[in-house]
Amino acid sequence: MLNDKGAMTKLLHRFRYQHNCNVTVTARDKCINPKFNLEDIMVRPLPIGVQDFKKVRDEGYTYVDKTDMIPQILSQKSEVYLYTRPRRFGKSLNLSMLDAFFNIKYSKDNSWFDGLRVSDCRECEEHKNAYPIIYMDLKNLGVSNIETFDSDLINEMSNLFRNHKYLLDSDILDDVDKEYFDNVFRRKLDPIALRRSVAMLSRMLNEHHGKKIIILIDEYDNPIHNAFGKPHHQEIMDTMRDILSSSLKGNDSLAFGVVTGVMQISKESIFSGLNNLSVNNVLSKDFDEMFGFTDEEVMNILEEYGHPEKFEEAREWYDGYRFGDADVYNPWSLLNYVGKRFEPKPYWAGTSGNSILEDLFENASSELWCEFRLLSEGQSIQYEMKPTITFRDLDTDQRNIYSMLVMSGYLTVFEDDGIQYIRIPNGEMANVFGSYILDRLNVDSPMYVRSLSRAFISEDIGTIEKRLYNLFASSAGNAMLNDEHSYQAFVTGMLMYLNGRYTVKADLEEGNGRYDIRLERRYGDYPNIVIEIKRIPIDSSDEAAKASAMKALEQIKERDYLHGLEGPTLIYGIAFRNKKPTVLSEKMDI
């Protein structure tokens, strides 16, 4: 009989994951212990992909309390708040939370906020469910051509008005307003006429309810950025600017507005004339813990799901983002990591195309490529973040893409002595960058690369020699292999597959010299790996190749390339005769 709640939670967690046991409390009770009360310790479902706050609370999903956002908004008293964060960092769920709290159509007696931090805010109570709300989500507007965009916009506005269809029966509104409302609802207005429809709807709601309204707009920048490079980009930009400006600028019916997006399009381009705009981006210190998970929040989740010992692994893979003064985790990846039985791998990167990275590697200069290699090796690069960078700015300075990569979540920015630096935030993104570096080397055999990486970890010399030869033979021309640095760059690129489990570094100083390749384990029982490469004449004998590989091993030890490493470590000496490698290894415990 189990009486310890922590032990019971772990057992319940293991049972659920091993047997895919999505069953009722009663059934689980019988599965585990028919006399034990599971009410207080039952593992809650994870809200992966669930962005409706009301559903999260009604159906008992795990919820990380971000309701402190509400009193912060009320106390700042700005006219419009713009929050920019990477995708999948909780923007939509937070916007849904604001809707649930402020929307007049919901009963004040709802229990969605019971036990949450906002319930301690007495000043907030008078604002609860006290405002008419216009709630728009722009992420699904198609931009493949202008006809698709116009059609989707007409449908979006029709659905928006449908949410307030009761206005057609209003005793306050006149026939002109009702006719306009009906035309939008029935999709009779053209896209140009629709540009002021949000402003018109806000006035109607204000007059009908006798209360000022709140406007919530999610993913405001999505159609603008998706249309970049298309002939109709400017037309879409003009439409979005007119919708946002007319509804948020000089709107006497507005209490306040909250807008979210990934990137901060310059005020001049889209929020022209909006004087009371409070911009909150990845550099802002207020609201810095409202998007993403903190250490404490992650530990609470891991404890609930029975694996607090996974904390360091979760931190290595999904932490590392710096928003203002807060260090935060990628919430989407962390929840997927827990939901997929604590398997560390990239989850966030697969939720949409990595077109920014694709464009970067396609058009990167040699200087930018060198910086990218430094980033992929775990180093930081000095760079001053520019929050209002757009795609157009890439033509003036290619390094501007770093600002876009920070805002998009591929990199993070931090300060040291007043100087800004960028870096890859964690193992997940290191894995993504490693994959792109691998692709740039034109290695077209991922199976061989995976096999090679595993062979280095397990000290399988035969497989290392075989895979290295096959990969060099199929991917590297003789002209590329003109010095040891060329071999080093190629092998480093292949081992980028291990980014995530390891920090992969190359050609850096350590001890009394510069090592060729060093793989420092991030977590777990993996061995550290240090590799030294020699290039010898193609007609050298097998004995000469072994002697050269042995010399490489001795160089690792004599020059103390192992300095700073701890635990089991494998060192490799590799001698290349053109594309044919000879590999020697030695196992050490530091």
CA 201 to chain centre: 34
Strands 254-261 and 213-218: parallel
Nearest Cα to Cα of residue 196 among 247, 259, 260 = 247
| Structure confidence at residue 427 (pLDDT) | 87
Cα–Cα–Cα angle for 86, 87, 91, nearest 5°?
Answer: 90
Give strand pairing partners of 519: 504, 529
Take residue 86 and report the two structure tokens written for it.
Answer: 């990477």
Contacts of 268 (CB under 8 A, 6+ apart): none
Take residue 303 and report the two structure tokens written for it.
Answer: 């404890």
Report yes or no: 257 and 297 within 8 Å, Cβ to Cβ. no
End-to-end C-alpha distance for the chain, whole angstroms: 44
Per-residue pLDDT tens over the stretch 277-335: 899 999 999 999 999 999 999 999 999 999 999 999 999 999 999 999 999 999 999 99
Phi and psi at 84, nearest 5°, equal -115, 125
By the 10 Å C-beta count (0-12 exposed, 13-18 middle, 19+ buried), 544 is classed as middle
Nearest Cα to Cα of residue 89 among 262, 305, 285, 217 = 262
| Structure confidence at residue 35 (pLDDT) | 41
Take residue 477 and report the two structure tokens written for it.
Answer: 């021309």
Q: Which has more confidence, 357 or 307?
A: 307
Give strand pairing partners of 237: none
What would the mean pLDDT of 542-570 be, rounded to a whole number? 96
The helix/strand/coil state of 448 is helix
What would the mean pLDDT of 377-388 be, rounded to a whole number? 89
Phi and psi at 411, nearest 5°, equal -130, 165
Residue 568 has pLDDT above 70, yes or no: yes
Residue 2 has pLDDT above 80, yes or no: no
Report yes or no: 268 and 304 within 8 Å, Cβ to Cβ. no
Which DSSP helix (H) or strand (E) runs through 71? helix 69-76
Nearest Cα to Cα of residue 322 among 71, 51, 86, 47 = 86
Q: Across the chain, what does the average pLDDT equal?
A: 86
What would the mean pLDDT of 149-173 be, rounded to a whole number? 96
CA distances from 381 to 181, 193, 252, 453 (A): 54, 48, 47, 27
Contacts of 77 (CB under 8 A, 6+ apart): 256
HSE-up (13 A, CA, CB side) for residue 511: 19
Residue 27 has pLDDT above 80, yes or no: no
Per-residue pLDDT tens over the stretch 490-538: 888 788 878 778 888 888 888 899 999 999 998 778 999 999 999 999 9
Per-residue pLDDT tens over the stretch 102-127: 999 999 999 999 999 999 999 999 99
Nearest Cα to Cα of residue 190 among 239, 138, 141 = 239
| Least confident piece of the model among 48-52, 268-272, 527-531, 533-537 | 268-272
Report yes or no: 581 and 464 within 8 Å, Cβ to Cβ. yes
Q: How many CB atoms lie within 10 A of CB 2?
A: 14
Which DSSP helix (H) or strand (E) runs through 100? helix 91-102
| Structure confidence at residue 12 (pLDDT) | 45
CA 377 to chain centre: 20
pLDDT tier at 438 (50, 70, 90 boundaries)? Answer: low
| Least confident piece of the model among 98-102, 121-125, 268-272, 426-430 | 268-272
Take residue 263 and report the two structure tokens written for it.
Answer: 């990137």
Which DSSP helix (H) or strand (E) runs through 577? strand 568-577
HSE-up (13 A, CA, CB side) for residue 80: 25
Q: Among all chains, which residue has been given the structure tokens 């429809």?
A: 197
Q: What percent of the chain has pLDDT over 90?
A: 64
Report yes or no: 406 and 385 within 8 Å, Cβ to Cβ. yes
Residue 209 has pLDDT above 90, yes or no: yes
Nearest Cα to Cα of residue 473 among 440, 453, 435, 444 = 444
DSSP 367-428: HHHHHHHHHHTT--EE----TT--GGGGGT-GGGHHHHHHHHTSSEEEEETTEEEEE--SHH
Report yes or no: 324 and 288 within 8 Å, Cβ to Cβ. yes
**DSSP alpha helices (H): ranges in 409-521?**
427-440, 446-458, 461-475, 484-495
Q: Please indicate, yes or no, whether the overall pTM of this predicted structure exceeds 0.75.
A: yes
Q: What share of the chain is helix, strand, coil (3-state, %, to 5)?
A: 50, 15, 35
Q: How many Å apart are CA 60 and CA 12, to the nearest integer?
A: 17
The helix/strand/coil state of 41 is coil
The helix/strand/coil state of 525 is coil
| Structure confidence at residue 481 (pLDDT) | 66
Q: How many Å apart are CA 554 and CA 575, to the nearest integer?
A: 13
Q: What percent of the chain has pLDDT over 70?
A: 85
pLDDT tier at 367 (50, 70, 90 boundaries)? Answer: confident
Q: What is the side-by-side order of every strand in the sheet holding 80-84?
A: 133-137, 213-218, 254-261, 80-84, 277-280
Torsion sign, CA atoms 423, 427, 432, 438: positive
| Least confident piece of the model among 524-528, 548-552, 583-587 | 524-528
pLDDT tier at 485 (50, 70, 90 boundaries)? Answer: confident
By the 10 Å C-beta count (0-12 exposed, 13-18 middle, 19+ buried), 355 is classed as exposed
Q: What amino acid is encoded at 213 in this protein?
A: I
